[in-house]
Structure 1
Amino acid sequence: MIRGVLLIALASMLWATTGIVAKFLFATTELEAITLALLRLVVALPFFWLLMVRELRQISAGGAGQPGRHLLPRPGPTALLVLAGLGMFQAFYQGSYLLAVDLTGAGIATLISLCLPPVFVAILAAPLLGEKPRLITVLSLVSAIAGTAMLVASDMDTTGTLRLTGILMALLAALVYTGFTLTSRYNSAGTPVYTTAFICFLVAALLLLPVAWLSGGFAGLGTLKLKHWLMVTYIGVVPTCVGYLCFFTAMKTTPATLSSIIVTLEPLFVALLAWLILGEVLANIGIAGAIILTVAVIIASVSSQSQSASKENQS
């Protein structure tokens, strides 16, 4: 289990560097957020294709000689529809999150985008998945909203203005990621992990391509130098490919509740790196808001996981 915990912590740290590198790219080039989101997926796709091929070969080898078992998974129309939905959510999330980073800061954008979804999921699971929220979950939602308001107040205090568009984009990213999580829970087709990831990223890239093209997002590519292309490649390879590989590997041996808690390290890593590297400072009220928001996420995640486990035991 210790190895799994360390791998998830490493994945969270790698994911945290995405916003930092992206903010530097936005500040030093004319690269658009939508274009960077597309480039990230394009760079990552070949790696996930290789992981998918290896995964399917392992399934094929494991199914050989077993009567009545298909060598490869054959997702039906419903499963394909769910995978397409995941890809759509991924496209919207990538674009809205990176745009929020561009319009505000890496720290506040990540805190809002990633800390609110677990609480939203715990609440929305009631009407959508039949999981009645506990009182502690509702209190976590209230605390998360209060923490977010404190972050916004801190941002206004340190920047001298309300960066409303960026805040709204971060909230949109949080809502989109909530939809992604709920759709993932609905996916009961048992599609292999890396196959799901590849199809999801492929659909997202295909959706982002015309948006970037029609919005003139490719015009900014001419401002990228070699070091900038290396940064784009880094975002596509290290936090995306290596980060998800570490996470999926760790999930095989790490309890879901523990992993959900460790993942909350990502926004904290981002806030720390944004302070050390980008000079983004949170006022005292912002620090308090970040702590409240993180604690609310941990409580909501633990409550949701324990409730799901209890429901499975009863069934």
Structure 2
Amino acid sequence: MLQGALLIAFAAMLWATTAIVAKFLFAGSGLAPITLGFLRLLVALPFFWLLMHREQRYIKAKAIRSGESIPATTPGRQAFIPLLALGAFQALYQGSYLVSVDLTGAGIATLISLCLPPVLVAILASPLLGEKPSLPTILAGLAAIAGTLLLVISDMDTAGTLRVAGILMALLAAAVYTGFTLTSRYNSAGTPVFTTAFWCFLTAAMLLLPVALATGGWAGVQSMTLKHWLMVAYIGVVPTCIGYLCYFKAMQSTPATLSSIIVTLEPLFVALLAWLILEEKLGPIGLAGACILTVAVIVASRYGKASGASQDG
């Protein structure tokens, strides 16, 4: 379990570098956030295609050894509907999150985008999935709202203005990621992990490409140098491919509740890196908001998962 926990923490640290590198990309080139979202997925797709085929070979070999019928290599019609929905959520999340990073600070964008969803999931799981929320879950939701408000106040204080567009995009990213998580829970088609990841990322890339072309985001690619392309490759390979591989590997031996808590290290890593590298400061109010939001996530993860488990049992 310790090895799995360390792998998840390592994955969270790798994911945290996405916003930092993206901030340098946006500042040093004309690359649009939507285009970066597409390029990130484009770089990662071959990697997940290989993992998907390796996974399918393993499933086939296991079925042959046990004398069972060999399953289909591609998802069926019933499985494709939630996969397409996950891809649509992924595309919207990639776009809204990277836009929020561009319009605000990397730290505050990530804190709002990634800390709110677990709390929202814990609350919305009751009416949508029949998972009854406990009192700690409800209190965690209220605390999350308070923490978010403190972050907004802190950002307004340090930036000297209320960056409404960036805050709204971060809130949109949080809402989209909530939909992604709820759809993942609802999906009972049993599609293997890397098959799900490949089709989800492929759908997201196909949706982001026409948006990037229609909004003129592709023009910014012409201003990119070798250094900028290396940054894009880094985002596609390290936090996306290696990060998700570490996470999926760790999930084989790490309880879901523990993993959901460890993942909350990502926004904290981003806030720390943004402070060290980008000189973004949260200030006392922002630090208080970040702490409140993090505690709310931990409480929601523990009690939200527990209530869901008891409901299923």
Shorter-chain TM-score category?
over 0.9
Q: Which residue of 1 aligns with 2:18?
A: 18
Q: Which residue of 2 aligns with 1:298?
A: 298
- Cα distance in 1 between the residues matched to 2:69 and 2:78: 20
Q: Is the 8 A contact 1:156 1:163 kept in 2?
A: yes
Q: Is the 8 A contact 2:118 2:178 kept in 1?
A: yes
Q: Is the 8 A contact 1:64 1:71 kept in 2?
A: no
Which letter does structure 1 place at the counterpart of 2:255? Answer: P
Q: Which residue of 2 aligns with 1:265?
A: 265
Q: Deviations over 1:165-192 (max 9, x none)?
A: 0000000000000000000001111101
Q: Deviations over 1:257-308 (max 9, x none)?
A: 1101100000000000000000000110000000000000000010011112
Q: Deviations over 1:80-133 (max 9, x none)?
A: 100000000000000000000000010000000000000000111011100111
- Cα distance in 2 between the residues matched to 1:76 and 1:29: 42
Q: Is the 8 A contact 2:20 2:274 kept in 1?
A: yes
Q: Which residue of 2 aligns with 1:255?
A: 255
Which segments of 5 or more consecutive residues in structure 2 lack a partner in the other structure? none
Which segments of 5 or more consecutive residues in structure 1 lack a partner in the other structure? none
Among the aligned pairs, what percent are the same residue?
A: 70
Q: Which residue of 2 aligns with 1:159?
A: 159
Q: Which residue of 2 aligns with 1:33?
A: 33
Q: Is the 8 A contact 2:132 2:308 kept in 1?
A: no
Q: Is the 8 A contact 1:59 1:72 kept in 2?
A: no
Aligned Cα root-mean-square deviation (Å): 1.0
Give the TM-score taking structure 2 as reference length.
Answer: 0.98
Q: Which residue of 2 aligns with 1:184?
A: 184
Q: Is the 8 A contact 2:132 2:311 kept in 1?
A: no
Deviation at 1:73, TM superposition (A): 5.3
Q: Deviations over 1:30-58 (max 9, x none)?
A: 11000000000000000000000100000
Q: Is the 8 A contact 1:122 1:133 kept in 2?
A: yes
Which letter does structure 1 place at the counterpart of 2:275? Answer: W
The answer to whether the aligner puts 1:242 opposite 2:217 as a matched pair is no
DSSP 3-state at the match of 2:98: helix
- Cα distance in 1 between the residues matched to 2:180 and 2:5: 24
Deviation at 1:74, TM superposition (A): 5.5
Q: Deviations over 1:130-151 (max 9, x none)?
A: 0111111111011000000000
DSSP 3-state at the match of 1:64: helix
Deviation at 1:72, TM superposition (A): 3.7
Which letter does structure 1 place at the counterpart of 2:230? Answer: L
- Cα distance in 1 between the residues matched to 2:110 and 2:53: 32
- Cα distance in 2 between the residues matched to 1:74 and 1:208: 23
- The alignment covers a number of residue pairs equal to 313
Q: Which residue of 1 aligns with 2:100?
A: 100
- Cα distance in 1 between the residues matched to 2:251 and 2:112: 25
Deviation at 1:65, TM superposition (A): 4.4
Q: Which residue of 1 aligns with 2:277?
A: 277
Q: Is the 8 A contact 1:13 1:265 kept in 2?
A: yes
- Cα distance in 2 between the residues matched to 1:117 and 1:238: 24
- Cα distance in 2 between the residues matched to 1:213 and 1:165: 22
Q: Which residue of 2 aligns with 1:54?
A: 54
Q: Is the 8 A contact 1:103 1:166 kept in 2?
A: yes
Which letter does structure 1 place at the counterpart of 2:153? Answer: A
Q: Is the 8 A contact 1:91 1:204 kept in 2?
A: yes
- Cα distance in 1 between the residues matched to 2:20 and 2:68: 50
Q: Which residue of 2 aligns with 1:206?
A: 206
Q: Which residue of 1 aligns with 2:83?
A: 83
- Cα distance in 2 between the residues matched to 1:73 and 1:135: 44
Give the TM-score taking structure 1 as reference length.
Answer: 0.98
